[in-house]
Amino acid sequence: MVTIYDLAKRTGFSSTTVSKALNNYTDVSQKTKQKILEAAAEMGYLPNAHAQSLSTKKSWTIGVMFAEDNEVGMKHPFFSALIESFRKHVEREGYDLIFASRNLRNRDTSYLEHFMYRAVDGIVVICSDPNDPQVQDMINNHVPIVVIDMSNQNCSVVYSDNIEGGRLAVNYLHSLGHTRIAHISGDPKIDAGAQRIKGFSKAMNDLNLPIHQEYLVNGGLFSIQEGRAAMESLLELETIPTAVFVAGDHMAIGAMEAIKDKGLKIPEDISIIGYDDIEMSAYVTPKLTTVRQDTDRIGARAGQLLIKQMIQKKKLITTEIIPVELIIRESCTSLKKEKNN
């Protein structure tokens, strides 16, 4: 097993200098540091994690609290892309991830207790109920934390501009001539759902378009099945909408299935616009027009904010709103004449 003394002998530097270089001390020149790191890589040096944590007072681990009530979890392409972006950023800085899920509750262990036991340096919370007392316990603790996809928290938060996303969707549909526009929303108790409803409502009001209560349907927790059920309820109305803004691509795909099962065509009979721009949205038929969330930027920015707090050893209260983009494909079309049924 290669030790720092082997590296010292190989490079000609003292063991103290080697140790400082490996732990990224600022009083070692970049040239010296580079030479030592290259030698460590060539010799296959692996630092002892326990010894490293004792010397740096850090565990070099980040706790990831991820929970979704519909149990889709990381299988959802939006959240898996988010976590992958976050992981890449923090791993470049030397950190590993420790995941926690709702299964901890079956063992009478809270998320915070789990992470404190593992001595994590920081925590990232992704897609959680803002009213969850365990989430609030972590936010109110001293451990550095970043929350993704929630707003108005007493900590650092990173999320997409969901209000603008709703506005972009409605304005685009209106530009195509649609006035009977419905919204299949995410659960309004979830921040993303509530914000997209707000964006939808704001755009409709700005355009002086009526918001029919029967056109605003709660699609729940963003699943394909819930999207299908919500669309089926819209199709049972006496006057169906000519366009639907759906708050998630999975729900939009479910809505498209319901429309096809009814014998209607997309976009000729009903235009559909989704939200997220998951990979599948470019391959369904017709290809889904949607609002893109920048998962690379969200994950990287969350990583930057968390690392900054861990280095400074203090929590920061800041809000980062990441811009969204309308991706136009094939599921929306111009309305030549208002349909009466």
Both 146 and 177 in one domain: the answer is no
Counting beta carbons within 10 angstroms of the beta carbon of residue 27, is it exposed (0 to 12), middle (13 to 18) or buried (19 or more)? exposed
With respect to residue 328, please indicate whether it lies within any of the assigned structural domains. no
Helices (H), the chain: 4-11, 15-22, 30-43, 49-56, 77-92, 111-117, 133-140, 162-175, 191-206, 224-235, 249-261, 295-312
Helix (H) or strand (E) holding 182: strand 181-185
pLDDT digits (tens, 9 = 90+) for 232-277: 999 999 999 999 999 999 999 999 999 999 999 999 999 999 999 9
202 in Cβ contact with 162 (< 8 Å): no
Q: How many CB atoms lie within 10 A of CB 73?
A: 14
With respect to residue 314, please indicate whether it lies within any of the assigned structural domains. yes
The pLDDT, as a whole number, for residue 47 is 64
182 vs 18 pLDDT, higher one: 182
Both 118 and 169 in one domain: the answer is no
Both 275 and 208 in one domain: the answer is yes
The pLDDT, as a whole number, for residue 340 is 44
The span from the CA of 163 to the CA of 194, in Å, is: 9
Both 100 and 184 in one domain: the answer is no
The span from the CA of 100 to the CA of 103, in Å, is: 8
With respect to residue 338, please indicate whether it lies within any of the assigned structural domains. no
Nearest to 291 by CA among 115, 164, 119: 164
Domain count for the chain, please give it.
Answer: 3
The model's pTM:
0.80
Residue for token pair 């889904």 = 288
Both 212 and 304 in one domain: the answer is no
314 vs 23 pLDDT, higher one: 314
315 in Cβ contact with 142 (< 8 Å): yes
The span from the CA of 247 to the CA of 218, in Å, is: 10
Both 172 and 260 in one domain: the answer is yes
The span from the CA of 82 to the CA of 293, in Å, is: 10
> 68 lies in which domain range?
61-160+295-323
69 in Cβ contact with 37 (< 8 Å): no
Is pLDDT of 77 > 50? yes
Side chain identity at 292, as an amino acid letter?
R
Helix (H) or strand (E) holding 125: strand 122-126
The pLDDT, as a whole number, for residue 318 is 94
With respect to residue 341, please indicate whether it lies within any of the assigned structural domains. no
Nearest to 128 by CA among 138, 118, 119, 120: 138
111 in Cβ contact with 65 (< 8 Å): yes
The span from the CA of 13 to the CA of 38, in Å, is: 13
User: CATH number, domain at 311?
Assistant: 3.40.50.2300
Last residue within a domain, chosen from 293, 312, 332: 293
Both 190 and 282 in one domain: the answer is yes
Both 287 and 200 in one domain: the answer is yes
324-327 vs 289-293, strand pairing mode: antiparallel
The span from the CA of 298 to the CA of 149, in Å, is: 9
Q: How many CB atoms lie within 10 A of CB 82?
A: 26
User: CATH number, domain at 32?
Assistant: 1.10.260.40
- Say if residue 286 is preceded by a cis peptide, omega within 30 of 0: yes
Average pLDDT value for residue range 125-135: 79
pLDDT digits (tens, 9 = 90+) for 5-21: 888 999 999 988 888 88
Q: What is the DSSP string of 290-312?
A: EEEE-HHHHHHHHHHHHHHHHHH
With respect to residue 69, please indicate whether it lies within any of the assigned structural domains. yes
Computed from CA positions of residues 211, 215, 219, 223, in that sequence, does the dihedral angle turn out positive or negative? negative
Both 136 and 228 in one domain: the answer is no
Average pLDDT value for residue range 164-183: 98
Both 189 and 246 in one domain: the answer is yes
With respect to residue 333, please indicate whether it lies within any of the assigned structural domains. no
Tell me 216's DSSP state.
E
The pLDDT, as a whole number, for residue 274 is 98
Both 169 and 289 in one domain: the answer is yes
53 in Cβ contact with 253 (< 8 Å): no
Both 175 and 262 in one domain: the answer is yes
- The mean of the pLDDT values for the chain is 88
Tell me 282's DSSP state.
G
With respect to residue 12, please indicate whether it lies within any of the assigned structural domains. yes
Confidence of residue 102 (pLDDT cuts 50, 70, 90): low
Last residue within a domain, chosen from 56, 78, 97: 56
With respect to residue 274, please indicate whether it lies within any of the assigned structural domains. yes
The pLDDT, as a whole number, for residue 160 is 96
